[in-house]
Amino acid sequence: MLRRTLMLSTAAMALVGALAVPAFAQSVPIRIVSKDLLTTNPEDVKEIEAIEAGLKAAGTDVDLQILDLPGSGYADALSVQLLSGDIPDIIYFQGGDQKMAEQGILEDLNPWIEKYPNLKAALWPHNVERLKNYPYLLYIYPPRAPQPVIRQDWLDKLGMAPPTTVEEYEALFKAIHDGDLDGDGTPGNTLGLTGYGNTAELDSIFNQAFGVTATWMKDASGAWVNERVTDAEKAKIEYYARLASEGLFDKEYVTNTFDVKEDKFYTGKAGVIFGSSPEVIDIYGGKMNQAHPGETIKLALLPLPKGPGGRGLAAVDVSKESRGFAVSSVSEHKEEAVKVLDFMASKAGQDIDRMGFEGEQYTKDASGAVTFTDKISTWYARFFNAANWTAPTQQLSPTAQAALDTIKAGFVADNAFVWPSDYAADVDATEQVYRSWVAKFITGEAKIDQWDQFVSEYNAAGGTKLAEYARTVLK
């Protein structure tokens, strides 16, 4: 009887267990959309598969599903998707996030970061400050601080020392323009400097030089005003306009796309280009050598120039991330989504994201020592650049490492803040007025003696209203 009772109890327990645990465990589906992830890119797919395997080894079984969106017009395409109600679990934003945060579809990441140690340890100082002000986006990278590079062989041909002042920069650009460094037999057809879209890249090193120290500065009366209407800004734009008038800066910068800008550099139509990050500088180096097979071309980082206002990198806006990863607050799998991000901030995740794959981007010898191959020059991280991760061997070129060292040493927090949505139209209108006038100054359509006209138009477009609000925030 006892034996029969035990058998019945065991059978009952087995039945309960069978009901409690599925016969086949199901992977948790995590839908992810990112500008740098496409199902049509084999490297993207391979990285996602490696992430899934790494998470599974750590005890989290997920099925990461890439949602394709076009790289061109990504922000607009993403907005259309989200407004349609199709909200992925992990979302990479490149603008348009604040509207979604205000609608409550983005998760507050701070509690999760406290819970998951890899994420917390991976943050850079500016990430910490931005999360205090805006807890919905995570972009674990050094601050974007574009810095200029030139072909080392071109600098050597010129016989010039790297420029250390704004005047020496102008002299370098003129030497590039007047020389025949590209060897086509026609001096004067090479730009000293090219860019694309706007002047933000140039501002990265010339703001402090001309005394543009922060977004909000005090005028002669002690009142807070936007730096864009200050005398320091006027002096900087006058410098840019002079470079362009002498054929030293690319007047087509407004219509250039990033790839057009790069092509002008690789083909010798421009001598200096700005890299938005150390990794991008190395990508430029790799592409430069691809464009010139049989040659070994190294890039040289140019130093920060000293000007009438001083020297340094532009102040870093810590009001919020302008781009980055978010987790949907309506996701049914928020925990697993955060675990994906936490894994990408871990050593195992960073090894995948930053190093690529053994046999392709790097090799290992019998002792386990890592050697990077030429393919590492065009590899890029799809997720994070953790502050606490160290490559097993030198990954950045000396030029790119020098750029990173400059960023680490030169961090200065800006006094910008997040605008309430009621001011969005004013922010957009003043930005449009500013960019339009800067383009006119640089192309010669407007003269710098029309500066007061620009200031009046800027203030009428919302500048006065914004300054009044800023004074209530900055006291």
Q: Output the six-digit token pair for 426.
A: 């004013």
C-alpha 351/C-alpha 241 separation (Å) is 45
Q: What are phi and psi of 348, to 5 degrees?
A: -60, -45
Beta-sheet strand order (sheet of 270-275): 191-193, 270-275, 147-151, 299-301
Prediction pTM value = 0.79
275: left (phi over 0), alpha (psi -120 to 50) or beta: beta
Arithmetic mean of pLDDT, 65-79: 93
Q: Are 102 and 418 in contact (CB under 8 A)?
A: no
Beta-sheet pairing, 147-151 with 270-275: antiparallel
Is residue 434 predicted with pLDDT exceeding 60?
A: yes
Q: How much of the chain exceeds pLDDT 70, in percent?
A: 95
Is residue 73 predicted with pLDDT exceeding 80?
A: yes
Q: Are 413 and 213 in contact (CB under 8 A)?
A: no
Q: How much of the chain exceeds pLDDT 90, in percent?
A: 88
Comparing 26 with 133, the larger pLDDT belongs to: 133
Q: Output the six-digit token pair for 448.
A: 């710098």
In which band, very low, low, confident or very high, does the pLDDT at 214 lie, cut at 50, 70 and 90?
very high
Query: For the segment 147-199, what is each residue's pLDDT rounded down to a tens digit?
Result: 999 999 999 999 999 999 999 999 999 999 999 999 999 999 999 999 999 99
Residue given tokens 């000396």 in the structure block: 398
pLDDT at position 379: 87
Domain 147-315, what fold? D-Maltodextrin-Binding Protein; domain 2 (3.40.190)
C-alpha 129/C-alpha 411 separation (Å) is 12
Q: Output the six-digit token pair for 37.
A: 């992830």
Arithmetic mean of pLDDT, 253-275: 97
Domain residue spans in the chain?
Answer: 28-143+320-387, 147-315
Q: What are phi and psi of 333, to 5 degrees?
A: -135, 50
Q: Are 313 and 145 in contact (CB under 8 A)?
A: yes
Computed over every residue of the chain, the mean pLDDT equals 92
Arithmetic mean of pLDDT, 359-380: 91
In which band, very low, low, confident or very high, does the pLDDT at 54 lie, cut at 50, 70 and 90?
very high
Query: For the segment 91-109, what is each residue's pLDDT rounded down to a tens digit?
Result: 999 999 998 998 999 999 9
pLDDT at position 108: 98
Matching CATH number, 28-143+320-387, of 3.40.50.300, 3.40.190.10, 3.20.20.70, 3.10.400.10: 3.40.190.10
pLDDT at position 4: 34
Query: For the segment 8-51, what is each residue's pLDDT rounded down to a tens digit?
Result: 333 343 444 444 444 456 899 999 999 999 999 999 999 999 99
Candidates 160, 143, 148, 312; CA nearest to 243 is 148
Q: Are 350 and 360 in contact (CB under 8 A)?
A: no
Is residue 457 predicted with pLDDT exceeding 60?
A: yes
Arithmetic mean of pLDDT, 202-215: 98
Q: Do domains 28-143+320-387 and 147-315 have the same CATH topology?
A: yes
Is residue 293 predicted with pLDDT exceeding 70?
A: yes
